[in-house]
Amino acid sequence: MTSAFAFLPFLAACLAAASTGIVFRPGRWYANLNQPSWRPPNALFGPVWLVLYIMIATAGWLVWREAGLAGAALPLAIYALQLVLNGLWSWLSFGLRRLDLAFFEMGVLWLSILATILAFQPISATAAWLLVPYLAWVSFALFLNFTLWRMNPETTAAAGQ
């Protein structure tokens, strides 16, 4: 029972990261950008992130359950870092409307997810594998962010003025 309650802080941490996507919404500015033809519909993003955040929370919880906070301090610190970076992206992209900064930040996020997977692997292979779809989705999102930035160079120039 205690282990099940311990899942809640991991879920709460994921909800905190997700909350920036609620605060900083794409809105009209994003809708008016030049978009690639292969961009998924807006309705897909919410359900995908919901599933991913549940998987991310589960992965962190599995590592904690297996090794505890003391036994997995570094892997869980990397995990926390990737959640902070995850939340930061919405602010950079939709809050500041800086697709360039969002792209570079997402590159760091991608590296932190990979580092989390590598750090989780020796503790829980299941936890590591639970993060692979997250890495795949962020890989796709990184390419989409780059494409949007390149298709809308005025966003960088306008934001810098």
Cα separation of 134 and 120, whole Å? 14
Cα separation of 145 and 45, whole Å? 14
pLDDT greater than 80 at residue 6: yes
Total-model pTM: 0.93
Q: Which of 115, 93, 96, 113 is nearest to 104 (CA)?
A: 93
What is the tally of helices (H) and strands (E) in the chain? Answer: 8, 0
Residue 38 has a CB neighbour count (10 Å cut-off) of 9
Mean pLDDT of the chain: 94
* pLDDT at residue 1 in the model: 54
How far lies 90's CA from each of 25, 96, 97, 127, in Å?
Answer: 8, 9, 9, 25
* pLDDT at residue 27 in the model: 87
| Phi–psi pair at 108, nearest 5 degrees | -70, -40
Give residue 129's Cα distance to chain centre: 16
* pLDDT at residue 161 in the model: 46
* pLDDT at residue 3 in the model: 77
pLDDT greater than 90 at residue 30: yes
CB of 78 within 8 A of CB of 119?
yes
Per-residue pLDDT band for 77 (boundaries 50, 70, 90) equals very high
Instruction: Tell me which residue has tokens 């359900």.
Output: 47
